[in-house]
C-alpha cells in the first residue's frame, strides 16, 4: 500500500515538474513583454516587473511595422489551408477507411513520409516553379505548399478515426433512403467531429507557425505572415526585445486559447480507437 502511494506521489511530482518546464517559456515570454527596457536588460533579471509596462504592446502596432497585416495574412493562409485539408482529407480518409485495395498500407506510409520530408530540400525548385507561375507574394503561393505537407497528416489521422466508426450506421442510412454522399456528411462527419477538430487544430498550428516557406515565397512587406513579420521589428541600433516578446505573446495567445477551449474535443480525437469493446 505504501509503495503504491509513493509511486503515485512520485508520478504526481514528475507531472508537475514536466508541466512547469513546458509552460515556463510562455510564462516568461508574457512576463518579459510587460517589463520596461531597463528591466529586460537588468542583471540578474527580475522575476516579476516592478510595474506593468504596456507600451510594448502599443509599439507592436505603432512601430512602423504593419503587424495587423501580418495577422490577417497568417489568419487567411492558416484558415484556408485548414479548410482545404479537412475537405480533401475527409473524403480521402473515408475511402481509405472503407475500401481495401492492394498496397494500401504502403500508400499510407508514403503519405506519412511526405509529411516528414525536409522543407529545405525542395525550397529552391519550389521557388523557381512558383516564380514561373506568378505565385510569389500571393496567398496560393503559401496555401499550396502548406496543404502539400499538412494533407498527408490529415489523411493519416482521419483514416484511423473513420475506421473506428461502425459501418452499420451507414447501412441504416442507405436503407432509409440516403445516398452514399448524404450518409457521409449527415452521419459520418458529425460522428467524426472530435477527430476533425483535432486535425484542424494541428493543421492550423502548423500553418500559423510555419516560417521557411513564408520567408522565401512572400517577400513583399504587405504579404508577410506573423512569424516572418516579427523579424522586421529589430531597429537600427538595438533590438527591441520588449516589442518582440509582446508580438510573440499576441500570436501565441490565440493558439493557447484554442487548445484550452477545445481540449475536450482534442482528447477525444487523440484517444479515439484506443479502447475497444
Inside any domain, residue 78: yes
Residue 40, pLDDT above cutoff 80: yes
Residue 84, pLDDT above cutoff 70: yes
Which residues fall within 8 angstroms of residue 223, CB to CB, at 6 or more apart? Answer: 73, 137, 138
Inside any domain, residue 71: yes
What is the arithmetic mean of pLDDT over 4-16? 80
Inside any domain, residue 111: yes
Condensed to tens digits (0 to 9), the pLDDT of residues 139-187 reads 999 999 999 989 988 988 888 888 888 888 777 878 877 887 788 888 8
Lookup: cell for 267: 482528447
pLDDT, averaged across the chain? 84
Angle, CA of 194, 195 and 196, to the nearest 5°: 90
Which residues fall within 8 angstroms of residue 248, CB to CB, at 6 or more apart? Answer: 29, 33, 230
- Structural domain of residue 104, as residue ranges? 67-271
Inside any domain, residue 80: yes
User: Helices (H) and strands (E) in the chain — how many of each?
Assistant: 15, 0
Q: Which CATH number do you get for residue 125?
A: 1.10.3720.10
Task: Round to whole Å and give the CA distance between 179 and 127.
Answer: 43
Inside any domain, residue 43: no
Inside any domain, residue 198: yes
In the chain, the number of structural domains is 1
Condensed to tens digits (0 to 9), the pLDDT of residues 199-229 reads 898 899 999 999 999 999 999 988 999 999 8
Which residue has better confidence, 156 or 65? 156
Inside any domain, residue 254: yes
276 band by pLDDT with thresholds 50, 70 and 90: very low
Cα separations in angstroms, 68 against 61, 141, 212, 245: 7, 20, 21, 16
What is the arithmetic mean of pLDDT over 73-89? 95
Inside any domain, residue 5: no
CA 82 to chain centre: 9
SS3 at position 136: coil
Task: Round to whole Å and give the CA distance between 34 and 51.
Answer: 8
Which residue has better confidence, 56 or 238? 56
Which residue has better confidence, 176 or 92? 92
267 band by pLDDT with thresholds 50, 70 and 90: low
Task: Round to whole Å and give the CA distance between 148 and 146.
Answer: 5
Lookup: cell for 199: 486535425
Task: Round to whole Å and give the CA distance between 122 and 232.
Answer: 25
* Count, residues in the chain: 277
Task: Round to whole Å and give the CA distance between 16 and 27.
Answer: 15
277 band by pLDDT with thresholds 50, 70 and 90: very low
Amino acid at each position: 500500500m505504501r509503495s503504491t502511494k509513493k509511486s503515485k506521489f512520485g508520478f504526481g511530482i514528475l507531472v508537475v515538474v514536466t508541466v512547469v518546464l513546458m509552460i515556463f517559456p510562455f510564462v516568461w515570454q508574457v512576463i518579459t513583454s510587460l517589463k520596461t527596457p531597463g528591466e529586460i536588460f537588468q542583471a540578474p533579471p527580475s522575476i516579476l516587473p516592478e510595474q506593468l509596462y504596456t507600451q510594448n504592446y502599443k509599439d507592436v502596432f505603432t512601430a512602423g511595422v504593419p503587424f495587423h497585416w501580418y495577422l490577417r495574412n497568417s489568419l487567411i493562409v492558416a484558415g484556408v489551408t485548414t479548410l482545404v485539408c479537412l475537405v480533401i482529407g475527409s473524403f480521402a480518409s473515408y475511402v481509405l477507411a472503407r475500401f481495401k485495395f492492394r498496397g494500401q498500407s504502403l500508400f499510407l506510409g508514403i503519405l506519412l513520409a511526405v509529411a516528414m520530408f525536409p522543407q529545405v530540400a525542395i525550397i529552391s525548385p519550389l521557388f523557381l516553379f512558383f516564380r514561373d507561375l506568378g505565385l510569389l507574394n500571393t496567398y496560393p503561393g503559401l496555401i499550396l505548399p502548406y496543404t502539400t505537407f499538412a494533407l498527408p497528416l490529415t489523411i493519416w489521422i482521419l483514416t484511423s478515426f473513420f475506421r473506428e466508426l461502425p459501418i452499420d450506421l451507414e447501412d441504416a442510412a442507405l436503407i432509409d433512403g440516403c445516398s452514399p454522399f448524404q450518409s457521409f456528411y449527415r452521419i459520418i462527419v458529425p460522428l467524426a467531429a472530435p477527430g476533425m477538430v483535432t486535425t484542424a487544430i494541428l493543421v492550423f498550428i502548423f500553418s500559423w507557425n510555419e516560417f521557411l516557406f513564408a520567408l522565401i515565397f512572400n517577400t513583399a512587406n504587405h504579404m508577410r505572415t506573423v512569424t516572418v513579420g516579427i523579424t522586421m521589428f529589430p531597429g537600427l541600433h538595438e533590438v527591441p526585445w520588449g516589442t518582440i516578446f509582446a508580438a510573440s505573446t499576441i500570436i501565441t495567445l490565440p493558439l493557447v486559447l484554442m487548445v484550452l477551449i477545445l481540449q475536450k474535443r482534442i482528447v477525444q480525437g487523440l484517444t479515439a480507437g484506443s479502447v475497444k469493446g
